[in-house]
Structure 1
């Protein structure tokens, strides 16, 4: 027989969560675009409302979204993009992405307006708990596959995991590990200010498991600011605990990431000696051997190993050579084994199917690819740094485009990558593939230069992805101004009343350097939920204070 009290408590707990919002977050943050669209359809069927409330004074939603959809129309007319049917499909697709952003933020705002703040907080808590559970299973699956309790040091399977283990901790969104890291970095800040210490530690552990060096460094910066200006003694203590966890993880669990960060920073700030801007741009990556050179090296190593083995067998016949056997400092003889850190063991040297597509494309367009078409390379700056120089050089050569940009999908965006038809940024009709010349000779060239080579170069620091670069290059100064005034300031004007909202805003401005987050349709909507919730709390607090006067 059911206990009536237990049934009542269960029903009460269910009612204390906004299930519509939770379902929307779980579906909309999924990596598949089709599932995101389904999430929008479902949530509007459940909560039908199209009253956006845009206004130049006290706008309900950021005016950035309608403005950023207006600017490409200007570029379409100026650049006469409407004359190209393939570009028109790119244009419509890009508008579709911005429309999804607008529809998503409207539903997030409705959820905050129609629910109590504590209901939203409990919904957010449930989301992070579910995400942590999925991340645990991600990690457990890797341990089961490798048989290593610490896969961050596991160098088997051609170092499939090792330093790249974090790439497989994708969480409940099944998106990139960077998306998971960004969400959990937001979670750390949110729960820290909310004084939910267990959840701070849960989100911190998940963040560390993703091995996102950029997010770790960003969090250290924000921890420092919070420690000095906006935290209590207890909050300072949990910040110290988080930093200790980070030090232990870097020092004991995944020490190779520390070396990787130092090397990346060194390459980013390195100033090439001599040469003009084109020469500087051409100096792009580490000295990576070609596939043919790699095979020759492996064959040579194999022949050398046979020769050494033959010499050792001969040496065993002669007692006089026994003293030459390799020994430890204690005099113990050891057997010379394969060096797992050598090139053949570090990564698979065979070209992957995706790389075959990229390499074939490079061969077919070598004349237009000054970087990726080169056979030999010298050490230089990371790809992300190079792309910012490319954008600056582009506007020096085309000053007329600095106002409204090169046009949506024409220079730097997930849309531009998707329209290539390569398949690495989502599906796109092959018979309508579109690559603008400005994109081809700049950011696509940089991408091919790094991601068409060894897996060790496939990193965040070498990708051209950046919200700032996208807004400036494709939407011009109008796009940047619309973003600064009608998006950042829309939230930043509440900074004095913010609690977790201010560090969340600062974190978002930092992660905008790492990807095309508006087109990612993931982290942004969660950020906007936190900001709207914090604004509502601040307004409620203001009304309460007036009521007591």
Structure 2
């Protein structure tokens, strides 16, 4: 069962890897937009082709990417956005994101078409190995900096790491840890089907290191379905081991994540009512023994060991004799007091918070939520969907085509605020739609201008589904359903790892604006297009063979 890492052979990899595709993936998945654009230019110079092959019948690529471009044009005319120069820049930038996505999937499709499937598989393997090396390097750097083997329990340096250690495990893309987590969740499913045991565990460990609770749960849910319906006995054993790794991580490595998940679910189901106290109270850890308790425990062990010794006296070495001792000769072992200030979260207002608070103060008459004192409520993610539903109810004319690109719910809308939230943007061209200001931006400011504990995925307005219905309307949601998800789902009878990957992606769409992220989506498309090629017109690969 424990094969070598996909029969890894250096010469074989050199000769049988699509280096153009690998280079494209490494560059295009980078967090910097400039690097992504460079990757597109480079790959088209290396593999020049613009035959997209769109068709309403047996389209080569998802028609979604072509049809979605029409909706912003319609909204531009209806909303007369062409009269605002700053919005025109926003509009063309948003259209550019969709065009980049289209150009990227075309190159991925070309790579799958011109190469043997095994070459693509080896290319994917090399990518995951490289990403794992970078991810473990991130972790090693944290261990070196803190001196703690388990930084998930390290509370020093004002809890810079601790429960947030996973945020620094960014991997090869240098993007958010959530991006790294999503890629490795794909990797677990992919290598489970490929029966590559070492890489399953490599991806699982990297995923756990990122500390992404939502993606962990999404993966476990998907693995549970596979366990019941589509796996062999060996694969079931591997799934059980993956679940055990998660349990050990939550219980022993990062128990605070376990408590965080429980509190999040509790707040989502039963939102708390009492207001937060204005005075922050230091966290006191009750599971750490006091200095006197440590001394007593050490003394008991010392006396027990003396009783077990023979009558021969052992002379203490000079180094031990020089250690500090209590009145009865007991050696004092001091421990750090983690209730002191260096072990508490920093309470200083960050530069980002000051910028947000200043903006709130300037627009408090329009910000009905963030201008108020914070009180515990439902997670921001839930409030976001409620907000969108109420907006469309109040503006029925926008139900069909939405509020327009960059006007309500998108990474673009956050980027053009010039806050540096979703990338840099020139201040002189700042554009903030009033609908965005009084809705999703208000929710974002309400949570993200407060303490670090509130700046989480559960309170973020980011969501592909919300973006589609709010900015592209019912038409955009239908185009996505039939011409994107439907493009891949129609092969459900033959897909192997493709079907569970599609399920994970659909769950991921609740967490971020992934189409604008220009990273996870293109890798998903590579895996799906590859799976379609290797299973179409063939008998289904035996997913559950022993």
Q: Secondary structure at the match of 1:421?
A: coil
Query: Residue 291 of structure 2 contacts residue 335 of structure 2 at CA under 8 Å; is this kept in 1?
Result: no
Aligned to 2:15: 15
Superposition deviation, residue 346 in structure 1 = 2.6
Cα distance in 1 for residues equivalent to 2:124 and 2:237: 24
Query: Residue 152 of structure 2 contacts residue 163 of structure 2 at CA under 8 Å; is this kept in 1?
Result: yes
- Change in Cα spacing, 1:218 to 1:143, as seen in structure 2 (3 Å) is same
User: How does 1:144-543 map onto structure 2 within 5 Å?
Assistant: 144-270=144-270, 287=276, 289=278, 328=293, 340=338, 345-374=343-372, 376-539=373-536, 541=538
Superposition deviation, residue 76 in structure 1 = 0.8
Superposition deviation, residue 340 in structure 1 = 3.3
Cα distance in 2 for residues equivalent to 1:542 and 1:201: 29
Cα distance in 2 for residues equivalent to 1:509 and 1:134: 27
Query: Residue 64 of structure 1 contacts residue 487 of structure 1 at CA under 8 Å; is this kept in 2?
Result: yes
Cα distance in 1 for residues equivalent to 2:403 and 2:485: 23
Cα distance in 2 for residues equivalent to 1:380 and 1:392: 18
Q: Secondary structure at the match of 1:165?
A: helix
Unaligned runs of 5+ in 2: 1-8, 284-289, 300-325, 327-331, 542-546
Q: Secondary structure at the match of 2:450?
A: coil
Query: Residue 28 of structure 1 contacts residue 37 of structure 1 at CA under 8 Å; is this kept in 2?
Result: yes
Q: Which string of whole-angstrom CA distances, capped at 9 and with x for unpartnered residues, describes residues 325-360 of structure 1? A: 996596999999996358884321111111111111
Superposition deviation, residue 11 in structure 1 = 5.8
User: Comparing 236-245 with 340-349, which one deviates more in the overlay?
Assistant: 340-349
Query: Residue 288 of structure 1 contacts residue 377 of structure 1 at CA under 8 Å; is this kept in 2?
Result: no
Give the TM-score normalised by structure 1: 0.86
Superposition deviation, residue 377 in structure 1 = 2.6
User: Comparing 398-407 with 337-346, which one deviates more in the overlay?
Assistant: 337-346
Question: Which 4+ runs in 1 deviate beyond 3 A?
Answer: 9-13, 325-345
Give the TM-score normalised by structure 2: 0.87
Aligned to 1:31: 31
Cα distance in 2 for residues equivalent to 1:442 and 1:262: 28
Unaligned runs of 5+ in 1: 1-8, 274-282, 302-324, 545-549
Q: Secondary structure at the match of 2:69?
A: helix
Q: Number of aligned pairs?
A: 494
Query: Residue 421 of structure 1 contacts residue 429 of structure 1 at CA under 8 Å; is this kept in 2?
Result: yes
User: Comparing 344-353 with 142-151, which one deviates more in the overlay?
Assistant: 344-353
Cα distance in 2 for residues equivalent to 1:288 and 1:456: 14
Cα distance in 1 for residues equivalent to 2:144 and 2:358: 37
Superposition deviation, residue 382 in structure 1 = 1.0
- Change in Cα spacing, 1:490 to 1:262, as seen in structure 2 (3 Å) is same
Superposition deviation, residue 538 in structure 1 = 1.0
Cα distance in 1 for residues equivalent to 2:131 and 2:339: 34
Q: Secondary structure at the match of 1:496?
A: coil
Superposition deviation, residue 378 in structure 1 = 2.2
- Change in Cα spacing, 1:360 to 1:336, as seen in structure 2 (3 Å) is farther
Cα distance in 2 for residues equivalent to 1:101 and 1:144: 38
- Change in Cα spacing, 1:349 to 1:104, as seen in structure 2 (3 Å) is same
